[in-house]
Chains A and B, each alone.
Chain A
Amino acid sequence: MGGEVKIATSPSKAVIRKPTSFYLRTVWAIVWKDLAAELRSRELLTSMLVFALLVILIFNFALELDPRARFNAASGVLWVTFAFAGTLGLNRSMAMEKDRGCLDGLLLAPVDRSAIFFGKALSNLFFMLIVEAIVLPIYSLLYNINLFNPGLIAVVLLGSIGYVAVGTLLASMAVQTRTRDVLLPILLFPIVIPLFIAAVKASAGFLQSLEMSEIWPWLNLLIVYDLIFLAVAFMVFDYVVEE
């Protein structure tokens, strides 16, 4: 085979090999691969961004006549925008794996399959945070609301983590069906309702400068939701992706 072929790893070595560092290297390899591919194609980020900006603009015109209603609806509009743009990104990210059978390529690797989940979830989170970082200043300008609030940014981060955790798991399920584009939002939105209620309430709390005692229950709900769904995905991803 073109020079001496050497066995890179034997099964016994694979079991003995330092599991944590190999696990983390696998996660990072998937993130790196997704970022490198996206840098070339720019398909995912462009579609997410354009869609998010269109949603903001539509809501801006729809609520233009009533500044008070616009202020009250600000956090809701923000999360609707993130949800729609995020769904688009999740679908595209998993479709990229399915199109040339690459998901099988990942599943054939001798790695813990939860590492594949965390790799995909991290790259999805990264793309979502990039879109949010661009959308927030534009939203701030259009709605004349100062969104550069550390509390609000923490809510955006917590909400995005939970959304991406559930979304990546369900997208890997939906991508194996013929109706993947339609199926993902149908599966995803009912499950993320508690997350969105908590994120909208906590965001509104920070925007309206409410007391922290009123915001904490929603932040706690976000944290618990994130932990539960990260744990669920860790446990079931193997079964979700296998026939």
Chain B
Amino acid sequence: MIEVRGLVKRFGLKTVLKDLDFQVQAGEFVALLGPNGAGKTTFLRILASLSRPAMGEVRIAGYRLPQQAAAVRHILGVVSHQPLLYGDLTAEENLRFYGKMYGIGAPEKRIGEVLDLVGLSLRRRDLVRTFSRGMQQRLAIGRAVLHDPEVMLFDEPHTGLDQDASVMLDGVLREVAARGRTVVMTSHDLARAGDLASRFDVISRGKVVASVGRAEMPAAKLLDFYRASISIREDAARVSSEQPSSRIRM
């Protein structure tokens, strides 16, 4: 479903992604783990067609980025730590607006379904600026699934959420995954990622350095796996700035 080869992204003189390779099968839920500044958000923004790669090949559902970006956006839902919602519009108006942007037929029925999904039906006519952070994030998920995308990208969706809101968000994420959607989620929260994802990839210094399936990695050992992956990359970076063999496959 997602295939990335030799991806390079530079901001000025700084190379943020260095020859990054990444594959996701349809229906997989991949947690992308890594320290701050590893390049997770930049990578997700390239997958979301919000950023252009300097080099490399990116394909989503067979469509190439950035050449076929409009086709990719049709099958993509994105949730970031910002809600991407208008505070001066109601929940319903926000969804109606995005429904028009995605060309959704019969939007009212679909808006009702989505508001039920994220548990905001009773607040549908309230302005988004009156919502708590958790409610805004739930509505952000509603916005992202409105056009029923095949692939969903979540960029640290739990950031700033309290415990209850995080649990509710987990429920929605599980439901999205249970519907067979392909999910890529960046996270700092290993426990949460361990609970939700079917595969864990570690990204460090702009490269995917390790990848392991849930079956091979008990949740209790995820932290050790993560630390080992990061330290190998750190050591490799110290010895040589480019060492393609530093990727662990488990």
Contact = CB atoms under 8 A, between A and B. Distances in A.
Contact of B71 (A26, A100, A110): A110
Nearest to A22: B103
A105 interface: yes
Interface string B42-71: 000100111110000000010100100011
A15 B72 CA distance: 11
Contacts of A26: 100-101
Contacts of B146: 8
Interface stretch (A35-43, A126-134, A140-148, A187-195): A35-43
Contacts of B52: 242-243
A62 interface: no
Contacts of A33: 86, 89, 93, 97
A8 B102 contact: yes
Contact of B74 (A11, A22, A242): A11
A158 B192 CA distance: 56
Interface string A86-121: 000000000010001110111111111000000000
Q: Which of A6, A8, A9 gathers most chain B CB within 10 Å?
A: A8
A106 B102 CA distance: 10
30 contacts: A1-B113, A1-B117, A1-B176, A5-B148, A6-B110, A7-B147, A7-B150, A8-B102, A8-B103, A8-B110, A8-B148, A9-B102, A9-B103, A11-B63, A29-B97, A29-B101, A33-B86, A36-B89, A100-B83, A100-B86, A102-B86, A105-B98, A105-B143, A106-B101, A108-B49, A108-B84, A109-B98, A110-B73, A110-B102, A243-B45
Given A3-B116, A102-B86, 11 more contacts: A1-B117, A5-B179, A8-B148, A22-B103, A25-B103, A40-B127, A105-B84, A108-B76, A110-B73, A242-B50, A242-B66
Interface of B: 45, 48-52, 61, 63, 66, 70-76, 78, 80, 82-89, 93, 97-98, 100-105, 110, 113-114, 116-117, 127, 143, 145-148, 150, 175-176, 179
